[in-house]
Amino acid sequence: MAKLYFYYASMNAGKSTNLLQADFNYRERGMATMLFTAAVDDRFAAGTITSRIGLAAAATMFDAATDIAALVEERHARERVACVLVDEAQFLCARQVDQLAHIADTLGVPVLAYGLRTDFRGALFEGSARLLALADALVEIKSVCACGRKATMNLRVDDTGRAVAEGRQTEIGGNDRYVALCRRHFGEALRNG
């Protein structure tokens, strides 16, 4: 039976690198994969999953209107899809996570979704919340805070490096906008602004 996996972590933990390695493993064995990434993430090239260490692969972009199940079903009817991989899974809507579960349950195709668990305020993203509820397997990818403890939080910073506690949930950025911290240092940064 195929499973729905949710690989989650803070920023800069290697989620995209892990996804691209999994994709490579399938393709190296001659198996077809389908890659998806959020259309809102335009840090690198649109429609590309890119890791900080320089790996990249083309992907189908999704937004809230994308019917992921229909795209996978159409491709799977033409050639067997061995695995579906989703980057930036926190940007999925709940309906799309339900579609990922359908792909695993009905088509028998494993789905590996990679994303953030929480935003810069420590609140769950819609996609992450639904994945936490539905995934067959929850896998935490570890990252490290500057203090050496496990980083679980994503601190948003402004242009001067000060903590940002308010604003839109989604603001695309990398090391220039976010710092992965342990819960203790995240709380201290927000209190000290």
Known binding residues for ATP are: 9-16, 87-90
Residues annotated in the binding site for Zn(2+), as ranges? 145, 147, 182, 185
Strands 60-62 and 163-164: unpaired
Report the binding-site residues. Answer: 9-16, 87-90, 145, 147, 182, 185
Choice among 74, 88, 140, 166 that is catalytic: 88
Single out the residue of 156, 98, 151, 160 nearest to residue 129, CA to CA: 98
Bridge partners of 35, per DSSP, are: 85
Following DSSP, what letter does each residue of 147-168 receive, concatenated? TSSBP-EEEEE-TTS-EE--S-
Helix (H) or strand (E) holding 175: none
Rg, Å, the chain Cα set? 17
The one-character DSSP state at 54 is S
Q: Which residue carries 């948003």 as its tokens?
A: 156
CA angle at residue 156 from 140 to 142, to 5 degrees? 15
Looking only at the bridges linking them, the beta strands covering 48-50 and 32-38 are unpaired
188 part of the active site: no
Which positions are annotated as active-site residues?
88
